[in-house]
Structure 1
Amino acid sequence: MTPIDDFGLDTASLAGPLEARLRALREAGFSRVVLQARDLMSHPGGFEAAVAAVKASGLQVAALQALRDFEGLQGPRHDYKVEVAKAMLETCRAVGSPLLVATSACAAAQPGGDPEALARDLRKLAMLAVPPGIRIAYQAVAAGRHVNDFNIAWELVSRADCPNLGLALDACHALGAGTSLELLEDIDPEKLFLVRLADALSDAPCADGAAVNVFPGEGVLAAPLAALTLRLDRMGYRGSYALSVCNDESQQLPPATVARRARRAAEWLSEEVLRRSAPLPNLMKLRGAAGG
């Protein structure tokens, strides 16, 4: 294994055809990829061609995302979402993804915020994922109607109490929202299934267009991202880190250029942060490299 094997790149960070994005990841030295379901469904050759492209790339699929607005529904809406979940789990099976990311519900149709009811829905989702052998990573998003922070999401995951149900942590969202890193100590590292890493060009929360996302080390959250990553490592987290950016500039650049920037971020985190305990990394060195 190389130092960056713990890091995968989200295909949403890159522009162009799926095959070109997968090739850019591979050529940049990545061995893992986080897939967007729409990448597979919108492939001009169809779903089977998309699956074939993923398998031919040689990349390990770290996660598929994202199932949205699942918990808190009732009646026909709930039944509909169950069918959507089943289809996405089948997609996981087809591409060899061991993990499906489910983001906290944002839709106004979710009327109830009763924790037991929300946990019951998550438990049902986890049970649906048992036969295909898939794990569910529940991620809080800033726009979540009832769950908008990782500590709330962790409470629901703990309440649901299913072996294949865990947490996906959006580090940029947590840091931008000012959530205390001390709360991470409450999380069982064995139940933390995925960590999403992004930086920002402003102090606004890194979600829903509130800030421009960049790769770790390229923005104002470089130091706290390093501290968070090091804390997770000391807690015993050994899962995948998903690098992700969401900005117009990245969508206008060749995928190889963006993948190389992601590679620099992964090298900084793996070699400068995770390979030494102190001090925090030389941020000026990183920023100088990122400008090249």
Structure 2
Amino acid sequence: MKKLLTSRRLVVLVVVVMVTVGVITFSSRTRTSQEKPALPMRIASDVSTWVSEVVTSPVKAVGNTYNAMTQMFDVYEENERLNKKVNQLAATQVQLQNEQHENKALKKQLKIDKTLTDYSIVNAAVIARSPSNWQSQLIINRGSNAGLKKSMSVMGAGGMIGRISEVDTTSAKVELLSDNSQTADRFAIRVTNKNNQTVDGIVAKFDQTKNQIVMSKITSKTEVKPGDPVTTSGLGGITPSGLYVGKVNKVVESDYGLTRTIYIDPAVDYNNIPVVSVAIPES
């Protein structure tokens, strides 16, 4: 039985080989002749083409899928790299803006140095400011080791902002001119009009909604107009005179015309104070 099966296999193999050789022979003759191929040849050719397409189509599909997946992963990796670069550029831009802002503030501080000829200047950076007393005080990174003492005047980028209220070795607290607390020491200020006439008073309060300094209960009849400069008066001996505070915004008469209230636009934005200068009197 086994021999019979072996003989059949051998016969099938011989037939397949003969058919294959015949197809190749007739194909070569057909290519060299102008005669139309015989029907069996056309059938064999069609079957061969169909088998080839059946075999190669899945292979091509797998290859195309692999290429598509490879391209997708490449695009994903490139997208990740681009996102990292965008984040780095954004961080660099923020840092640059902060440095530019600080640079402008320092340049303004240099102009202040030239106006305080009788004082030596110690520049400091603001290192802390509590939201609960934002308009009352701030902390700077200079202290007694830099020569700072209590009640020394502190200037911002454009004008006076307050004075030293507490000093440690390496830091100090600054009481702001905008402090509305009951325990705050009121600043003595002076308005000078175009005729060089002056009106003295104290800071009554700071209007946070309008961002204005309020100088109230003025009994002087001296003419004051919007735009007149406001400086420290030096009265009381705590704060030196002549430190720029701001300019008059408007003057409001009281109901009976006995007193006036002067609203002043400060020279400094109290919500944005990155650096300060402390005026130390020269001995």
TM value normalised by structure 1: 0.24
Which one scores higher on RCO, CA 8 angstroms, separation ≥ 6? 1
TM value normalised by structure 2: 0.24
Q: Which has the larger radius of gyration?
A: 2
